[in-house]
Structure 1
Amino acid sequence: MLTLFQHPLCPRSRYVRLILNEYGIDVRLIEERPWERREEFLLLNPAAELPVLVADGQPAVPGAGIIAEYIEETQAADLIEGRLLPESIGARVEVRRLANWFNDKFHEEVSGPLALERVFKRHMTREQGGGPPDTDSLRAARRNIRYHLHYIGWLVRTRDCLAGNEITLADLAAAAHLSVCDYLGEVPWNEDEVAKNWYARVKSRPSFRPLLGETLAGIPASATYADLDF
């Protein structure tokens, strides 16, 4: 049995959950607040970052990108169809490039600051970095999300999905990060209709249903978050 240490509004955790859901892999979810730096969690990942995947009798697997590769190598390697990582080397490079784009660049510029300032800081002490939201960080994230949306739209105008004509890890990474922003009502969908239509297709997949059905106490989802025809 796999165990995933995650937070419901951590975009990288959502990415891993979507991968597991796509492959139909059962996992036990444990909500972790990494800013609390629990000793037990630090033993699993000294960096105190989410997500962390644990398989019985195996070393902990830390980090969204490493977990994605681990799942591909141990859980999906024998699949003939439905792989989220293509067969050809060139296609794999493009998938990994885009997955890293969203897990690193988009997270740093958009989803990370939005989740931190609007959600996580509410639960953090001053010593942990809590306090009122940083309006400059929020303003920058709201500006940055626009060019990321246009980039998604540009990609999808030339192919059915982000990295080609089939859904891959790249689509799940982008959708996971956007879903956090969408939960908070922070996605200006009117900026790019093509990007909006792509996201509607991805969030209509069965793998997305568990995420769309979750809400955080005291932080309701945006009005269209769970709406497949938003």
Structure 2
Amino acid sequence: MERLLNRPRIAVVTCESTLVSVMFANNEIGTIQPIEELAHITNEYGAVFHTDAVQAVGHIPIDVNRLGISLLSASAHKFNGPKGIGFLYSRGGIANLIDGGSQEMGMRAGTENVAAIVGMAVALKKNCEEMEVNTRKIKHLEQILLDTLDVSGLDYIRNGVNQLPGNISLSFADAEGEMLLHRLDLKKICISTGSACDSVNTQISHVIRAIGVPEKYANGTIRISLGKENTEAEVRTIADSIIAILERK
């Protein structure tokens, strides 16, 4: 299942629009949006284009000039940096947010968290330098997981299209995502049934509903996140555990 924003879906942009904000890549299903096209349409109307690139920065190449991005926001913990720190890229500058001191070029007064800023910069530099190698490894791990599930004969679909490396949203037929989450947790395998920032909600995700996942599969949706430190053995354990749980349900 997939859902990309396209020209008809952003027809609401008019000459009166001042800002268009689009998620670079979806946090639940990993779909990477056609940012260059969306930014071009936005710029045609003279509006500012912002992208929430929290999921993407440090994991896929992003050229703000080529893509036509005016504003981009990112968060360090998504690329192995410290929690509680992020950055905003601005092509043309922005008005000051907090008056008082001259920190951050006069845009935001207050003492900077230097340790977190340095940690973020080092983590981003390291991730960008290792991006190609990490992407190859993670895609290889993804394929092992999917191939193992395919061989088992389980009835499932992968959600999204043109996904971020390591973001794997799967919907299993006639299954319960919450049951899978708890059974895998007992095996010390951590997954989620949707967005990490909405983990208390046990209802079918609005994202899964929006892309039209059939009811037969929607309730059995889980999200598996793989990273550069995962191993083939771990991925095979995840797949084998899912198979064992669903074959016994």
TM-score by length of 2: 0.30
Which structure carries more helix by proportion?
1
Higher strand share: 2
Larger Rg: 2
Please give the TM-score of this superposition, normalised by the length of structure 1.
0.32
